[in-house]
């Protein structure tokens, strides 16, 4: 295979990889009460950390985040 053909295949693989990542991320965005949200365990999985560690980091850095970027709900708020 020529060098150019190899480079084209490499670019196609990179684009496909990014597309797959984007597809996975989009599948983890939910619409709840007309708001687009991501759940903490999905974000933790994406960042490869425990959910508890993500929550600690978010609380510790809350002043750096936009005011409407996080919402913490107690478990009793959920209905199944």
Same domain (yes/no): 20, 44: no
Q: Which two tokens stand for residue 10?
A: 């490499």
Q: Which residues pair with 50 in a beta bridge?
A: none
Helix, strand or coil, per DSSP, at residue 51? helix
Is residue 20 packed enough to be buried (19+ CB in 10 Å), middle (13-18) or exposed (0-12)?
Answer: exposed
Same domain (yes/no): 54, 18: no
Same domain (yes/no): 17, 44: no
Q: Which two tokens stand for residue 58?
A: 């978010």
pLDDT tens for the chain, residues 1 to 80 = 455 555 677 777 888 878 888 888 899 999 888 888 888 899 999 889 999 999 899 889 989 988 878 877 777 776 65
Sole residue written with tokens 């708020």: 77
- The tally of domains found in the chain comes to 2
| Whether the predicted model's global pTM rises above the 0.75 cut | no
Please give the residue range of the domain that contains residue 78: 39-80
């Amino acid at each position: 295979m020529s060098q150019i053909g190899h480079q084209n295949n490499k670019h196609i693989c990179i684009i496909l990889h990014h597309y797959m990542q984007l597809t996975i991320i989009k599948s983890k965005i939910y619409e709840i009460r007309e708001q687009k949200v991501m759940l903490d365990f999905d974000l933790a999985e994406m960042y490869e950390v425990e959910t508890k560690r993500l929550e600690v980091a978010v609380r510790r850095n809350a002043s750096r985040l936009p005011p409407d970027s996080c919402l913490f709900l107690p478990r009793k708020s959920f209905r199944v």
